[in-house]
Amino acid sequence: MIHPEKLANKDFLSSCDLSVDEVTHILELAENLKKKELSLNLKNKVLGLIFDKSSTRTRVSFQVAMARLGGTTIDLNPSTSQIGRGEPIKDTARVLSRYCDAMAIRTFNQSDLEEYAQWSSKPVINALTDLEHPCQALADFLTIKEEFCNFENLILTFVGDGNNVANSLIICGALLGVEVRIATPKGYEPNHDVIKKAREISKFKDSLKLFNDPYLASSGANVLYTDVWSSMGEENQKEEKDKDFYGFTIDNDLLKQADKNAIILHCLPAYRGKEITDEIMEGQHSRIFDQAENRMHIQQALLACLLS
């Protein structure tokens, strides 16, 4: 049984903020917490949630994770606070860090998240930005570890938009030595700086491969992963993206290209019949709802490391 170790960085703004050892430690700690082999008490600790974007799993998993650690959560809804009236981030961050022991922030611009961290005296956690979703990636790799026991010789294929989820999978995969394949239509590739960073992390082993053909990308894959084609804030592009992403659905034909023991992941919410079929979501290869549960265990482990 292991116990929480302090992270080198005070904040968790990006998958890049963690070392290989820290990722491994958080995954092992989450496994211990999930199996109820470890009990932690963070009583009197308070987590503030600032969510500029709507959320189900991220919000609830953080709230439950903090409750299981014995702490409390305050939901700082921008529509019912001065945040929504244009109070400067530097003012909000300095005040809230005197009330709360940590803040989980879900917003649009990565630069806004970084500004919160600059002015806050307490840890700031990325609960999703347009650039990254690092808590999601940790839960994803916990789910993969549960299935395959380790990450040796594994291939993860992400099919869809090169979005925030794809970006965090790329970085986390590079840290863990997992071959990550990203299959997108032309023009929807992941962030260039993220690709560059992943290749720097991988050094001599280029574990990242980019495709525009989902069938080639899925050949022999151990994990097939997808996300919605139109992220929050892209509602006006929905019709155009639906056309551009035609053929990028995870269905039985695509699954046949993967390893026979492949698992299916989706960070949810899912639009069945678009990026994934109902049959695949409910099929024997799906680990989607295990993956969703693991958000809670990972965030419990992360909070324990930041606040212990």
Q: Please report the pLDDT score of residue 166 as a whole number.
A: 98
CA atoms within 13 A on the CB side of 112: 21
Quote the CA–CA distance of 167 and 207 in Å, as a whole number: 14
Answer yes or no: do 68 and 102 share one domain: yes
Residue 188 belongs to a domain: yes
Give the closest residue to 217 by CA, choosing from 151, 302, 157: 157
pLDDT in tens, 18-56: 999 999 999 999 999 999 998 899 999 999 999 998 899
CA 228 to chain centre: 14
Q: Which of 63, 136, 291, 299 is catalytic?
A: 136
Mean pLDDT of 89-97: 96
CA distances from 200 to 18, 151, 203, 205, 220 (A): 14, 19, 5, 10, 26
CATH number at residue 234: 3.40.50.1370
Mean pLDDT of 108-115: 97
The residue assigned the tokens 């803040």 is 103
Contacts of 274 (CB under 8 A, 6+ apart): 228, 229, 242, 245, 249
Quote the CA–CA distance of 117 and 95 in Å, as a whole number: 13
Residue 231 above 90 pLDDT?
A: no
Q: Please report the pLDDT score of residue 233 as a whole number.
A: 73
Give me the chain's average pLDDT, please.
Answer: 95
The question of whether 133 is a catalytic residue gets the answer yes
**Structure tokens, 223:** 């994990």
Residue 102 burial by CB count (10 A; 0-12/13-18/19+): exposed, middle or buried?
Answer: buried
**Structure tokens, 181:** 């394949």
Residue 5 belongs to a domain: no
Answer yes or no: do 153 and 93 share one domain: no
Q: Determine the structural domain holding residue 244 and report its residue range.
A: 137-291
pLDDT in tens, 209-229: 999 999 999 999 999 999 999
pLDDT in tens, 252-292: 999 999 999 999 999 999 999 999 999 999 999 999 999 99
Residue 303 belongs to a domain: yes
Q: Please report the pLDDT score of residue 202 as a whole number.
A: 87
Residue 24, H or E segment = helix 20-34
The question of whether 3 is a catalytic residue gets the answer no
Omega before residue 190 within 30° of 0, cis: no
Answer yes or no: do 127 and 257 share one domain: no
> DSSP character for 190?
P
Q: Which of 25, 57, 106, 266 is catalytic?
A: 106
Residue 4 belongs to a domain: no
Residue 57 belongs to a domain: yes
The question of whether 136 is a catalytic residue gets the answer yes
Q: Which of 25, 57, 133, 285 is catalytic?
A: 133
Q: Are 188 and 279 in contact (CB under 8 A)?
A: no
Cross-strand pairs, 21 = none
Answer yes or no: do 96 and 153 share one domain: no
The question of whether 285 is a catalytic residue gets the answer no
- What pTM was computed for the model? 0.96
Q: Which of 135, 172, 267, 305 is catalytic?
A: 267
Q: Which of 52, 130, 161, 227 is catalytic?
A: 227
Answer yes or no: do 106 and 231 share one domain: no
Quote the CA–CA distance of 54 and 52 in Å, as a whole number: 7
Q: Please report the pLDDT score of residue 204 as a whole number.
A: 64
Answer yes or no: do 73 and 207 share one domain: no
Residue 80 above 70 pLDDT?
A: no
The question of whether 82 is a catalytic residue gets the answer no
| Number of other CB atoms surrounding residue 150 within 10 Å | 10
Quote the CA–CA distance of 57 and 255 in Å, as a whole number: 26
**Structure tokens, 200:** 């720097």
Structure-model confidence comparison of residues 79 and 170, the more confident one: 170
Q: Please report the pLDDT score of residue 253 as a whole number.
A: 98
Q: Please report the pLDDT score of residue 236 as a whole number.
A: 81
Mean pLDDT of 123-142: 98
The question of whether 227 is a catalytic residue gets the answer yes
Answer yes or no: do 170 and 283 share one domain: yes
Amino acid at 283: G
Q: Please report the pLDDT score of residue 237 as a whole number.
A: 84
Residue 234 above 80 pLDDT?
A: no
Q: Please report the pLDDT score of residue 118 as a whole number.
A: 98
Residue 150 above 80 pLDDT?
A: yes
Amino acid at 135: C
Answer yes or no: do 125 and 174 share one domain: no
Residue 77 above 80 pLDDT?
A: no
Q: Which of 25, 266, 285, 295 is catalytic?
A: 295
3-state secondary structure at position 52 = coil
